[in-house]
Amino acid sequence: MNFINVLSAFFWVLITGLIVYFTWRYSKGNKEVGPAHNTPLEITWTVIPTILVVAIFAWGFKTYMSLSRAPGDAMDIYVTGQKWSWSFEYPQYGVRTTNELVVPVGKPVRLVMHSSDVIHSMWLPAFRNKMDVLPGRTTTVWFEPGEEGTYRFYCTEYCGDSHWNMKGHVKVVSSEAFQAWVEENSKEDTTTPLPELGAKLFQSKACFTCHSTDGTPGIGPSLKGVFGHSVDLADGTSVVADEEYVRESILQPGAKVVKGFAPTMPSFQGQLSERELNGLIEYIKSLK
Amino acid sequence: MSTAPDIATHAPSLPKEHYLNATRGFKSWALTVDHKRIGVMYLVSVLTFFLVGGLLALLVRLELLSPGGMFEQKTYNQLFTMHGVVMTFLFIIPSIPASLGNFFLPLQLGAKDVAFPKLNLLSFYIYVLGALMAIVAMVVGAVDTGWTFYTPYSLTTNTAVVITVLAAFVLGFSSILTGLNFIVTMHKLRPPGMTWFRMPLFLWALYATSVIQILATPVLGITLLLLAAERLFGVGIFDPALGGDPVLFQHFFWFYSHPAVYVMIVPAFGVVSELIATFSRREVFGYKVVALSSVAIAIIGFFVWGHHMFVSGQSEFAGTVFSFLTFFVAIPTAVKIFNWTATLYKGDIQLRTPMIYALIFLLQFTIGGLTGLPLASLGTNVALHDTYYVVAHFHYVMMGGVVFAFVGGLYYWWPKITGRMFNEKLANIGAALMFVGFNATFFTQFLLGFKGMPRRYFDYDPEFHTLHAFSSVGSWILGLGFLVALITLVQSLRKGAIAPANPWGGTTLEWATSSPPPAHNFIDTPTVTAGPYDRSHAPTATAGRAAA
């Protein structure tokens, strides 16, 4: 990159310098007549840039190949992009996360990605790699977490209303810390009180991206004070928001859509345990 | 006349009869087949849409100054979509070719009109129809797809995508018909002695542009029809849920839209060649190379569309081939810049307003061109794709390049179009404001891209705020520059000095006729005996008569 930038800066300074110099030198009246062409000069300034751009191409190609090919020992993580959050699943460990990727330092990671709706793009700026995430296809992108720390990732293919908010973090941790994290997250949480568990899930599953808890409508309806009250639906009927309605809305969001909102919510079928569902119901109950 | 005339020495007066007063009344304009009047109507239209697109851009920048303060995310997405659609389809594609091209192609060629004057009027009305459709669809239908209409998002969004793409489809026909008209005109209506290599470089540029318009636009038309068919009838072409392929849309779309950027920039190359030749008082260095490089760019431009898609999921092999070919567009472009620079060498440079625009074009377009290298290179593209770096690169080429050339060309030909000179001091103040404002707005965006700011984002991480604020303030200075330019032109119309036939000392044929030209351009058919920039054969300032 620096090579191209330095080269570009050199040519810009050269061309600008000549333009400014000629303009200054020849704007005070000049009776000499400049040449109409000069074949050796023209061949030179055609051939030299040609050689340079082929060199840039070759270098870019080499980098691209290493960006495209993950090493054989890479850890695979499955990724689902959906409007407007990222879900990750660690196949060896049975762990799922949303908008947060935790990986051990020094171990290459390969993301195996697909989209459940429109095209998204996984961009990891700190690791200089990016790949579109498509519905109906699998694409991959890999990176090597060299140093511990927190790095951002973004969606970089425009995907609608909250495109800008479809982002998260890669946490690169020591391998011991990673093992501990896996331990903690792979077993079912049976101790946290239900409303607290629900509040945690509301964050980690990125429900907050579309549903506010303070009454302001977002992509989806706000959940403040909904529970126990009647809700007007898009089909003109209405329903009382009880436990069964909340549960159905999480697992089959298209079944009863609230009036004034588009049916864009993805289904969370298979992604939540019974206890976690109850946690969310309890949490939503608590939003008065 | 054996020496080059500089500025007419006798006090000029408007010719008694010219194209503006030959006939009168609304109908004489609405039903005109005069390429000059059609050119003026296009000029007014594209400048109006430029104003609309520019105001939308200011709103986009205003939102980014304090995200969430003024607009909701949905509104922001609609704003940048409208800005993109208006600027691309209603302004920049027709800008130079349809307005200045229509007006000056026959004049520079030495012809009475274009080959098919009625078709020319039809193109204009098709353009107006498409423009109205686009505006209505976007204002009423709140389209939020971005100007690129990527599937499957554009198939699923609940907005007026169908009417908007049909508008672009209609606008495409205007573009095709204009291109066709121009090509036939240049083949069939050249006067005695006007050989291909005696044509001004602006005409070569229009020729190359027309070829692209004819060959590429139908592909966009078909693509947009398929998109409309899929939305209306559920035909599965692009939506994977129906068995389609969303990346296919990107291939189709860029097969047109990449060559389309040459529809935008190549006419600007032509304008700049004219300006540099006239105001350096000499022939363009390597005339034939500059002429043929426009054609080379037009041809190579057809084989590089995949460079928009390096991370789209297209094969690595395809990406590699497209990257390699892309670098070969850089060569004829670089050669042009070298030739223009060499034209300044030992010239007799007149720093008049149009020339100042041409020089600013050179500086800014060179940045636009060089910043294309990291985007063409595979390894760096992966990091920069879909960031503000791309936004900055694109605007350096389109705004810093095309728009500055367009405004320079407008000032250059303004006396010929209107018969009036303008206040150059005021015009130069406008140019300085535009230069400062443009670079403040967009150079900042290269830095934003480098630092990791993705494009089409309604809100951003706090560390980007300073640069975003800087860019927004830059956009106000840029807007002020355009306002000063507008004032200059309005003031010129009201009380500008009467323009002589050849106020700048130009050598091409449009300067051989009066300002404004008579309805049929030339009183006698011109006979051409020398190259376009041969100063020993320059047109005299004799109003209304063609150079022998």
- The answer to whether the CB atoms of B73 and A164 lie below 8 A apart is yes
Whether the Cβ atoms of residue B460 and residue A164 lie closer than 8 Å to each other: yes
Inter-chain contacts counted by CB atoms under 8 A, chains A and B: 230
B174/A122 Cα distance (integer angstroms)? 39
Q: In this complex, is the C-beta atom of A139 within 8 Å of any C-beta atom belonging to chain B?
A: yes
Q: List, for residues A166-220, the tens digit of each pLDDT value.
A: 999 999 999 999 999 998 887 777 788 888 888 888 888 888 888 888 888 888 8
CB atoms within 10 A of CB A176: 9
Give whole-number Cα distances, A253 to A243, A246, A282, B182, B390, in Å.
Answer: 14, 9, 18, 56, 37
* Distance (Å) from the alpha carbon of A36 to chain B's nearest alpha carbon: 5
Q: List, for residues B78-97, the tens digit of each pLDDT value.
A: 999 999 999 999 999 999 99
pLDDT at B539: 63
Portion 150-189 of A in contact with B at CB < 8 A? 152, 154-165
pLDDT at A273: 84
What angle do the packed helices B102-109 and B161-188 form, to 10 degrees?
Answer: 10
Q: Looking at A133-137, A173-177, A284-288, B452-456, which range is the least confident one?
A: A284-288
- Give me the residue from A34, A121, A131 closest to B346, CB to CB: A34
- Give me the residue from B330, B339, B378 closest to A63, CB to CB: B378
Q: Where does the pLDDT of residue B538 fall: very low under 50, low under 70, confident under 90, or very high at 90 and above?
A: low
Give the residue from A20, A21, A53 with the most B CB atoms within 10 Å of its CB, the best one to mutate.
Answer: A53
Segments making up each domain of chain A, as ranges: 1-7+41-68, 75-186, 194-286
Whether the Cβ atoms of residue B93 and residue B264 lie closer than 8 Å to each other: yes
A3/B181 Cα distance (integer angstroms)? 46
Which of B293, B310, B294, B289 minimizes the C-alpha distance to B247?
B310
Give the residue from A130, A152, A216 with the most B CB atoms within 10 Å of its CB, the best one to mutate.
Answer: A130
Q: Where does the pLDDT of residue B545 fall: very low under 50, low under 70, confident under 90, or very high at 90 and above?
A: very low
Whether the Cβ atoms of residue B306 and residue B254 lie closer than 8 Å to each other: yes
Q: Rounded to the nearest 5°, which phi and psi values hold at A235?
A: -85, 10
Whether the Cβ atoms of residue A33 and residue B346 lie closer than 8 Å to each other: yes
- The answer to whether the CB atoms of A262 and B158 lie below 8 A apart is yes
Q: Looking at A229-233, B433-437, B445-449, which range is the least confident one?
A: A229-233
| Contact list, B348 vs chain A (CB under 8 Å) | 26, 29-31
Using DSSP's 3-state secondary structure scheme, residue B350 falls into: coil
Portion 487-546 of B in contact with A at CB < 8 A? none
Superfamily grouping for domain A75-186: Cupredoxins -  blue copper proteins (2.60.40.420)
Q: In this complex, is the C-beta atom of A135 within 8 Å of any C-beta atom belonging to chain B?
A: yes
Alpha carbon of residue B499 to chain centroid: 26
Q: What share of chain B is helix, strand, coil (3-state, %, to 5)?
A: 70, 0, 30
pLDDT greater at residue B398 or residue B535: B398
The one-character DSSP state at B255 is: H
| Contact list, A60 vs chain B (CB under 8 Å) | 323, 376-381
A2/B377 Cα distance (integer angstroms)? 13
A266-280, B158-172, B390-404 — most confident range: B390-404
Q: Looking at A202-206, B214-218, B460-464, which range is the least confident one?
A: A202-206
| Residues composing chain B | 548
Mean pLDDT over residues A226-250, rounded?
88
| Residues composing chain A | 288
Q: List, for residues A42-86, the tens digit of each pLDDT value.
A: 999 999 999 999 999 999 999 999 998 899 899 999 999 998 899
pLDDT at B547: 36
Strands A149-155 vs A120-124: parallel, antiparallel or unpaired: antiparallel
Give yes or no for a cis peptide into A84 (omega within 30° of 0). yes
Give whole-number Cα distances, A125 to A155, A164, A168, B452, in Å.
Answer: 11, 15, 12, 6
Does the ipTM surpass 0.90? Answer: no
Portion 21-40 of A in contact with B at CB < 8 A? 22-23, 26-27, 29-38
| Contact list, B392 vs chain A (CB under 8 Å) | none
Residue B544, pLDDT > 70, answer: no
pLDDT greater at residue B179 or residue A237: B179
Mean pLDDT for chain A overall: 89
Q: Where does the pLDDT of residue A259 fall: very low under 50, low under 70, confident under 90, or very high at 90 and above?
A: confident
Residue B243, pLDDT > 90, answer: no
| Contact list, A59 vs chain B (CB under 8 Å) | 377, 379
Q: List, for residues B106-144, the tens digit of each pLDDT value.
A: 999 999 999 999 999 999 999 999 999 998 988 888 899
- The answer to whether the CB atoms of A12 and B323 lie below 8 A apart is no
Q: Where does the pLDDT of residue B459 fall: very low under 50, low under 70, confident under 90, or very high at 90 and above?
A: very high
- The answer to whether the CB atoms of B373 and A4 lie below 8 A apart is yes
Residue B9, pLDDT > 70, answer: no
Residue A21, pLDDT > 70, answer: yes
Residue B75 CB-half CA count within 13 A: 12
Give the residue from A47, A164, A219, A265 with the most B CB atoms within 10 Å of its CB, the best one to mutate.
Answer: A164
Burial of B412 (0-12, 13-18, 19+ CB in 10 A): buried
pLDDT at B322: 94
- Give me the residue from B146, B319, B330 closest to A53, CB to CB: B330
Mean pLDDT over residues B66-73, rounded?
87
B320/B327 Cα distance (integer angstroms)? 11
* Order of strands, sheet of A109-115, starting from the edge strand that comes earlier in the sequence: A95-98, A85-90, A75-82, A109-115, A139-143
Strands A120-124 vs A109-115: parallel, antiparallel or unpaired: unpaired
* Distance (Å) from the alpha carbon of B50 to chain A's nearest alpha carbon: 25
Give the residue from B248, B386, B447 with the most A CB atoms within 10 Å of its CB, the best one to mutate.
Answer: B386
Tell me the percentage of chain B whose pLDDT exceeds 70. 96
Residue B274, pLDDT > 70, answer: yes
- The answer to whether the CB atoms of B382 and A118 lie below 8 A apart is no
B470/B478 Cα distance (integer angstroms)? 12
Which of B390, B215, B399, B195 minimizes the C-alpha distance to B301?
B215
* Distance (Å) from the alpha carbon of B337 to chain A's nearest alpha carbon: 8
pLDDT at A35: 86
A189/B361 Cα distance (integer angstroms)? 64
B481/B413 Cα distance (integer angstroms)? 20
Residue B537, pLDDT > 80, answer: no
Using DSSP's 3-state secondary structure scheme, residue B170 falls into: helix
- The answer to whether the CB atoms of A123 and B286 lie below 8 A apart is no
Q: Where does the pLDDT of residue B342 fall: very low under 50, low under 70, confident under 90, or very high at 90 and above?
A: very high
Give the residue from A67, A154, A158 with the most B CB atoms within 10 Å of its CB, the best one to mutate.
Answer: A158
The one-character DSSP state at A265 is: P
Segments making up each domain of chain B, as ranges: 30-537
- Give me the residue from A4, A63, A163 closest to B456, CB to CB: A163
Residue A226, pLDDT > 90, answer: no
For tokens 């990732």, what's the residue? A153
pLDDT at B309: 94
- The answer to whether the CB atoms of A42 and B335 lie below 8 A apart is yes
pLDDT at B10: 52
Q: What is the dihedral of CA A173, A174, A175, A181, to 10 degrees?
A: -50
DSSP β-bridge partners for residue A80: A87, A114
Portion 261-320 of B in contact with A at CB < 8 A? 280, 282-283, 285-287, 289, 310-313, 316, 319-320
Portion 57-76 of B in contact with A at CB < 8 A? 73-74
Tell me the percentage of chain A whose pLDDT exceeds 70. 100
Q: What is the dihedral of CA B501, B502, B508, B514, to 10 degrees?
A: 0
Portion 245-264 of B in contact with A at CB < 8 A? 245-247
- The answer to whether the CB atoms of B286 and A42 lie below 8 A apart is yes
Q: In this complex, is the C-beta atom of A121 within 8 Å of any C-beta atom belonging to chain B?
A: yes
- Three-state SS for B79-95 is HHHHHHHHHHHHHHCCH
pLDDT at B2: 37
Residue of B nearest to A36 (CA): B285
- The answer to whether the CB atoms of B144 and A162 lie below 8 A apart is no
B535's tokens: 């100063």
What angle do the packed helices B465-495 and B35-65 form, to 10 degrees?
Answer: 150
Q: Where does the pLDDT of residue B5 fall: very low under 50, low under 70, confident under 90, or very high at 90 and above?
A: very low
Q: List, for residues B293-312, the tens digit of each pLDDT value.
A: 999 999 999 999 999 999 99
Residue B15, pLDDT > 70, answer: yes
Residue B540, pLDDT > 80, answer: no
DSSP β-bridge partners for residue B37: none
- The answer to whether the CB atoms of B334 and A36 lie below 8 A apart is no
pLDDT at A203: 84
Q: Where does the pLDDT of residue A144 fall: very low under 50, low under 70, confident under 90, or very high at 90 and above?
A: very high
Q: CATH classification of B30-537 is 1.20.210.10, yes or no? A: yes
Q: Where does the pLDDT of residue A145 fall: very low under 50, low under 70, confident under 90, or very high at 90 and above?
A: very high
pLDDT at B7: 47
DSSP β-bridge partners for residue A81: A86, A115
Strands A120-124 vs A85-90: parallel, antiparallel or unpaired: unpaired
| Contact list, B74 vs chain A (CB under 8 Å) | 161
Mean pLDDT for chain B overall: 91
Superfamily grouping for domain A194-286: Cytochrome c-like domain (1.10.760.10)
Which of B41, B27, B217, B25 minimizes the C-alpha distance to B124?
B41
pLDDT at A244: 87
Residue B394, pLDDT > 90, answer: yes
